[in-house]
Structures are given as structure tokens and as C-alpha cells.
């Protein structure tokens, strides 16, 4: 049977992926820098645990050699891990959202093909499900000239330190005009959204989609255009950003609602010709669900090279599992 190595595997999302894969009967190893955390969490999840430090390639060998697939659940600064995996002919799945790194991994396409390996990028919620929703919106509306993605993350939800750090780093200072309302699900009123540098928009446009823009909303009664601008201003100062990153995990004010909306437009007007929405709870659970499903579904594929999730799966492929998880998909 195949062995799946999850790097960052005892982190917030990594653990949830591991639990799902173990439940599906897979042999799983979770890895991070602490051997004791890895083995403790692994014992609880019914899998194996090992120490591996992404910053020390000399620590990768044994764990990579034993894996048929590697799921990367942390931000990397380059494509070295992905290269080491595909050179071994194994599958690589990446849940991270930094476009500059994903672009470098895309450059490994010839190496992956030569080695009969597949690397899958944009695995998760955003990027991930957002890519699949845009693919679906384009299929339903081939004349669309631009797409707008909205990602709503509830401030009552739990996120891991790496995800919180990444989000704060990506918050750019905002002007009043940057903040625009978007409606999620069946909401009657829009929530304030800001332009946000998730990788989905960039990777889709590189592959021939017309203009794509991704916007972020933070679901909480405390979030208004004013508090959003304040948050972005605070996050732009490194010292204050570090303090925020430490405080935010204890700050829950709102629900754990997680929602996506993709709107397709045929002209410069503001009325979308197609609007697809997905509404659920608990962002990390949804990310883990998509990552585990992708790992299982793509284990037997004959595809090789470096691909984004939307090049390998459609929304329909995941529809049943998303619905079982309580996610509501709708159009209109
Ligand atoms: N695509 C999506 O929709 C989506 C959604 C959520 C999160 N994410 C991304 O997923 C990643 C993980 O998020 P999370 O919430 O699970 O964060 P987390 O709870 O902080 O988990 C990160 C894990 O990585 C490990 N780690 C850190 N540095 C390492 C290194 N040098 N070598 C090996 N392991 C290392 C950490 O353990 P140690 O510190 O003990 O090593 C920890 O277990 C983030 O990059 C986030 O942006 C993507």
C-alpha cells in the first residue's frame, strides 16, 4: 500500500488531512521539526510520525524515500522540496497560497514529466475550491470577460499560526476605494471585502483565464471598512504584526462560517451573469477535506507534470463529498 508523507503534518490543517487519510485506510507519516510532537500526535491519529526540517534538506532523505506521495502543509520559500519529491518519481501536493513559490514549482514541469511524477498545486480552499468554482463559472458562461472571487473567513474560526502569519503578511495598506461589498451565499447584504493576494487569481490568469480578482472578507460584527483599514495599517508594521499574530488565535468574535463566491462578468458593468456560491463552516476542515480527496482521487491517475487542481478535477468530482460535509453549493 502507498505511504503518504504530510509535512507540517501535526499542524492545524496537516492533522486534519492525516485523520481523513487514516480513516480512508491509507498509511500516513506526519512530519515537522519536533520528533516528540510528531510521534505523540501520530499515536493519537493512528499513523507514524517523524522529524523533518524543511530548512535542512539533509533531514529529508529517509522520509521522502519511503513516500509515494508528499503533501506539503506549510509555506516554502522555494521549489526545493517539490523538486526532491518529483525527482524521486513521487506525487507532490501543495496547499500553500504564495504565487511566487507556485510559479517556481510550475517550472519543474519537465522534471516531473521525465520522472513520471505529478505535482498538484492549488489544493485546499483558496487556492483550491476557488479555482474549481472559476472553472465551473467559465464553463457555464464561456463569454465571461472577468471573474471575481470572494473568500469569507469567519473570525470565530480557528486557524494555525502559519496560516495567521501568512494572512497578516499578505495584508497590504488599504485606501477607502479598495473596500467593496460582496454578498456571500444567500446573504441579503454585502460584506466589506478587500483585494487579497491569494495565488488563485494569478495562476488562473497565467493559464488563459481573462481578468481574475480575489477579495477577502473577515466575518465578524466587528469588521467594518474602518476596522479593516486599521487592521491593514497595523499589519503593515512588522513589530505590531508579530504582536497581532500572537493575539489573534485567542480572539474569537464571530462565527466559523466559511464561504466562497465566484462572479462572472461579461462587460465592465457590475451585474454578474453567473454567480456560484459555496457556504460552510470551519475553513481548515474544508481545506483538509479537499486535500485528502485530491490525494485519494489522484493516486491512480496517469497524469504527469505540474498541474493546478482545476486542471485535474472539476467541482462535480467533489460535489458529493462537499455536500456530505454540509457545504451548500448554489447558483444565483
Ligand atoms: N489552500 C488553502 O486553502 C489553505 C488553507 C489553510 C492554510 N493553508 C496554508 O497551509 C499552511 C499550514 O497552515 P496551518 O494552519 O496548518 O499552520 P500551522 O498549524 O502553523 O502548521 C504548520 C506546521 O508546519 C510545521 N513546520 C513549520 N516550519 C517547519 C519546517 N521548517 N520544517 C518542517 N515543518 C515545519 C509546524 O511544526 P513545527 O513548528 O513544530 O516544525 C506545524 O506543524 C500555511 O502555509 C497556510 O497558508 C492553505
pLDDT per position as a tens digit, 43-101: 999 999 999 999 999 999 999 999 999 999 999 999 999 999 999 999 999 999 999 99
Q: How far is CA 310 from the centre of its chain?
A: 13
Question: Which atom of ligand 1 is closest in space to residue 125's alpha carbon?
Answer: 3
Nearest CA to ligand 1 atom 9: 96
Cβ-contact 173, 95 below 8 angstroms: no
Instruction: Tell me phi and psi for residue 147, to 5 degrees.
Output: -125, 145
Best residue among 30, 32, 123 to mutate for probing ligand 1, ranked by most atoms within 8 Å of CB: 32
Answer whether residue 1 shows pLDDT above 70: no
Question: Which atom of ligand 1 is closest in space to residue 53's alpha carbon?
Answer: 32
CATH superfamily entry for domain 3-124+286-331: NAD(P)-binding Rossmann-like Domain (3.40.50.720)
Answer whether residue 332 shows pLDDT above 80: no
CA 17 to ligand 1 centroid distance, Å: 12
Question: Which atom of ligand 1 is closest in space to residue 291's alpha carbon?
Answer: 1
Best residue among 70, 73, 94, 169 to mutate for probing ligand 1, ranked by most atoms within 8 Å of CB: 73
Q: Which long-range contacts (CB under 8 A, 24 or more apart) does 228-235 make?
A: 228/174, 228/179, 228/192, 228/194, 229/174, 229/176, 229/179, 231/171, 232/171, 232/172, 232/173, 232/174, 232/194, 233/173, 233/174, 235/168, 235/169, 235/171
Would you call 182 helix, strand, or coil by DSSP?
Answer: strand
CA 175 to ligand 1 centroid distance, Å: 31
Domain borders along the chain are 3-124+286-331, 126-282
Residue 182: Cβ within 10 Å count: 20
β-strand 257-265 against 274-281: which pairing, if any? antiparallel
Nearest CA to ligand 1 atom 11: 74
Contacts of 268 (CB under 8 A, 6+ apart): none
Best residue among 8, 49, 128 to mutate for probing ligand 1, ranked by most atoms within 8 Å of CB: 8
pLDDT per position as a tens digit, 214-270: 999 999 888 899 999 999 999 999 999 999 899 888 877 889 999 999 999 997 677
Q: Which of 297, 331, 308 is nearest to 129 (CA)?
A: 308
Task: Tell me if the bond preceding 127 is cis, omega within 30° of 0.
Answer: yes
Cα(250)–Cα(252) distance, integer angstroms: 6
CA 165 to ligand 1 centroid distance, Å: 10
CATH superfamily entry for domain 126-282: Dihydrodipicolinate Reductase; domain 2 (3.30.360.10)
Contacts of 317 (CB under 8 A, 6+ apart): 297
Question: Which atom of ligand 1 is closest in space to residue 284's alpha carbon?
Answer: 6
What is the arithmetic mean of pLDDT over 23-33? 98
Cα–Cα separations (whole angstroms), residue 53 to 32, 88, 156, 248: 6, 19, 31, 26
Question: Which atom of ligand 1 is closest in space to residue 167's alpha carbon?
Answer: 47
CA 163 to ligand 1 centroid distance, Å: 7
140-144, 154-158, 239-243, 252-256: least confident range:
252-256
Amino acid at each position: 500500500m502507498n505511504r503518504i508523507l504530510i509535512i507540517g503534518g501535526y499542524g492545524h490543517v496537516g492533522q486534519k488531512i492525516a485523520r481523513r487519510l487514516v480513516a480512508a485506510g491509507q498509511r500516513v507519516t506526519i512530519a515537522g521539526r519536533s520528533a516528540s510532537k510528531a510521534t505523540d500526535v501520530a499515536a493519537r491519529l493512528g499513523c507514524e510520525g517523524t522529524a523533518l526540517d524543511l530548512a535542512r534538506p539533509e533531514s529529508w532523505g529517509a522520509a521522502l524515500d519511503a513516500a509515494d506521495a508528499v503533501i506539503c502543509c506549510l509555506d516554502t520559500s522555494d521549489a526545493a522540496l517539490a523538486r526532491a519529491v518529483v525527482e524521486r518519481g513521487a506525487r507532490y501536493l501543495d496547499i500553500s497560497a504564495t504565487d511566487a513559490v507556485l510559479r517556481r514549482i510550475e517550472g519543474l514541469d519537465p522534471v516531473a514529466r521525465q520522472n513520471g511524477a505529478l505535482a498538484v498545486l492549488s489544493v485546499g480552499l483558496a487556492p483550491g475550491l476557488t479555482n474549481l468554482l472559476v472553472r465551473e463559472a467559465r464553463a457555464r458562461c464561456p463569454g465571461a470577460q472577468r471573474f471575481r472571487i470572494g473568500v469569507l473567513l469567519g473570525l470565530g474560526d480557528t486557524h494555525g499560526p502559519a496560516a495567521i502569519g501568512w494572512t497578516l503578511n499578505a495584508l497590504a495598506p488599504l485606501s477607502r476605494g479598495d473596500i467593496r461589498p460582496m454578498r456571500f451565499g444567500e446573504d441579503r447584504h454585502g460584506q466589506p471585502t478587500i483585494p487579497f493576494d491569494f495565488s488563485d487569481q494569478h495562476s488562473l490568469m497565467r493559464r488563459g483565464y481573462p481578468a481574475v480578482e480575489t477579495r477577502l472578507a473577515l466575518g465578524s460584527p466587528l469588521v467594518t471598512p474602518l476596522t479593516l483599514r486599521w487592521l491593514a495599517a497595523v499589519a503593515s508594521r512588522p513589530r505590531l504584526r508579530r504582536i497581532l499574530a500572537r493575539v489573534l488565535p485567542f480572539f474569537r468574535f464571530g462565527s466559523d462560517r466559511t464561504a466562497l463566491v465566484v462572479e462572472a462578468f461579461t462587460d465592465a458593468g457590475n451585474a454578474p451573469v453567473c454567480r456560484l456560491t459555496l457556504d460552510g463552516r470551519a475553513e481548515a476542515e474544508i481545506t483538509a477535506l479537499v486535500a485528502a480527496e485530491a490525494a485519494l482521487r489522484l493516486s491512480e491517475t496517469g497524469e504527469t507534470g505540474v498541474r493546478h487542481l482545476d486542471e485535474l478535477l472539476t467541482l462535480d468530482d467533489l460535489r458529493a463529498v462537499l455536500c456530505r460535509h454540509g457545504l451548500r453549493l448554489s447558483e444565483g
